[in-house]
Structure 1
Amino acid sequence: MTKPKHILLVIGGGIAAYKTSELIRLIKKSGMTVRCVLTESGAQFVTPMTLAALSENEVHTTLWSLKDEAEMGHIQLSREADLLVICPATANLLAKMAGGVADDLATTLLLATDTPVMAVPAMNVRMWLHAATQRNIKQLRADGIFVMHPDEGDMACGEFGPGRLPDPEAIMAEISVQLEASFTTTDGATKSEPGNRANILDGQPAFAPDRHRPLRGKHVLITAGPTHEPIDPVRYIANRSSGRQGFALAAAAAEAGAQVTLVAGPVHLSTPAGVIRVDVETALEMEKAVHDALPADIAIMVAAVADWRADSQSGQKIKKKGAAPEPLKLTENPDILAGLARHEQRPGLLIGFAAETQKIVQHAQAKLAKKGCDWIVANDVSGDVMGGANNSVQIITATGSENWEQLPKPEVARRLVAKIIEEIA
């Protein structure tokens, strides 16, 4: 009989701590066991008695328990677990983890563990966006800790923006993904490792599960799909992009161990396993979502963003009046790729896509110079590429071009991610 997975849940001091009660219920419902470590500040929001009743296990609160520490409890707690989950991970906890501080039970066991760790941040929007917090997040990801991206919305403090704790169901789904991830060691044993997601592209893994995940600790930002630019409540300006190439790239990057944020226009595709998805409709919304997701180590701008939008949107459906309507006045949309190239948090490797129908290489070379990115992936969309299953691309860089024959989009994604790994190695 397979031994049930065991979660060690570290609860930080934030108002979102109340949601851990539901998370514990979901963990138990899934057939796993859970033990809680409650920080001193976390105890201001939830009680040990509540957590003990829900988890059906003793709750640990102090490093100075004579019984526990006589048995080196802070080490044993982490070694018994298959996954350590910090929820909510406050700005203070994240800062201590990034700096290697060990001044209480929670931070000591986190420093002493070799068990996979998953952090679920929750804090005020200004704290989340602060440069210090973003530096800490980058360091933690580089250290191999999986950090979920917080949700965006209204907060208890009355402000709006990124920083909300994700719903318990979303956290539980990510816990399952992290637990499914494993690699085979040289002695044949299987060991869990965060971020090694078992997502499969067309039945074939992008990277063999027994290999080191080369993008571990890297944040990859990807845009995909079209944008819809409203004219009136029933009409919009759009294009034929399906989003399939961008979603395949998100899956391949996640398989390689990256933390992936996928900003998706209006498409009907399932989110790849372990990928953080942000849905948008317009170019302006996509630009904001891209900037909100920074910093990123690598950005791949695959989305086919509409060049133009209606200068003004009618609040009512525009009716036929027997004569030709007034010409539609258009205004230019932001150039998200070029703007990202000039951004103070410009990703270290910035890749753009170019959909062309003629003079593919020449137009892509001109776009590379104009946009200020590092690579352009040019594809000929004169056939059925937009919405189709295959793609034929040219990789344009400052040193030359590389032509790839027509391949299934998941294979194009795998090859491009492999090329990125080679570039940053």
Structure 2
Amino acid sequence: MNETAVLAHLFDRGQLTRGDLRELTGLSKPTASEVLRRLEEAGLAIVIGHESGGGPGPNAAIYSANPEVAYTAAVSIRDTGEAAERPALAAAVANLAGDVRARIEVPVAFSDIDPAEALADAVAELCRKGRVPRRRLLHIVVGVPGSPDEATETIQYVDVPGLSRPHLLAQIRERLRTDVAFDNDVNLAAIAERAHGVATDVDAFAMLWLGAEGVGFATDLDGTLLRGAHGGAGEIGYLPVPPTGTNAVDYQDLVGGIAILDLARSFGLAEPTPHEAVAAAVATGVDEFLKALGERIAVGLVSAVVLLDPPLIVLAGEVGQAGGSRLRDAVAEALRTRTPLGTKIECTGLTDDAVLLGGLRSGLSAVRERVLSSLAVPTAATS
């Protein structure tokens, strides 16, 4: 128990002296020294330097958790749609300090290859590139463009060919041969936004994901994601929308990738992907297109606003990133005409792959917990 407490503080704070650890844990000097000795022998703690005290006697050693004792990986399966230039699978591996050891992107077609085999090959390449011992990869987080259902071991609400087959989750776990967690890609992006983006200081927020092909939604309540009874919370693409002068029957038909491209072409923007069309509108000042897109986005968001009343909604995904503040302002103005709540709208603060970042953060927490749990056994040590 003492070892667990000390290692937890090293995980949380990074670098501590023996004196720091005694103050944090209340352990006596002999007990703290013995605990650190055992953690060093087990390879879980290392000395990374010495603190200069300026007085007589040896300088105090500075300890850190050994970041190479275990690793976590994140894999993002992307619904690329027509964005053929964007590989359908991305992966990254990081050590216990969160330092990324390797990243890869793989242009696979899940309709032509076994998804479990594709993930296994990607993880093997990731470990090879990052020089990560496979036995130390303790946890893998897989982000999917749908809702993982652990009861049926399938991915629900997914439009990527090959990913809806029965028992796919179990097949992937069997091939990867380690702990594997599956999560919705937008949920993982929300985890990253909470940690590194514009939502770090809010009690709660919602995220609207406007991707290359699909649309998704995530709700964060004080750091806890709302997932729903069947993992389907946030499948906003299925939300029926009122008549808008188009043939739309649900929200996906209004703001999905194909719909955005069609809308862009009506304004003379003939870009090959949705986010490039939005970026071109921002660059060339086609404000009428941004206003029209903002109106469409607001049609779905108004339901979330009146039901959840979040203090903040973050626009994310490739389209959200490309639209930036111009699209944010268009959405905010459209919402003001539909609800009096004055919900704050922001564009994402992340420019990196948010799904991978969220997957690594989620996996890091799981691996640290696993390492700590392995130490949490009764001992005779006392303070």
When the two structures are superposed, what TM-score results if normalisation uses the length of structure 1? Answer: 0.23
* Structure with greater contact order relative to length (CA < 8 Å, sep ≥ 6): 2
More helix by share: 2
When the two structures are superposed, what TM-score results if normalisation uses the length of structure 2? Answer: 0.25
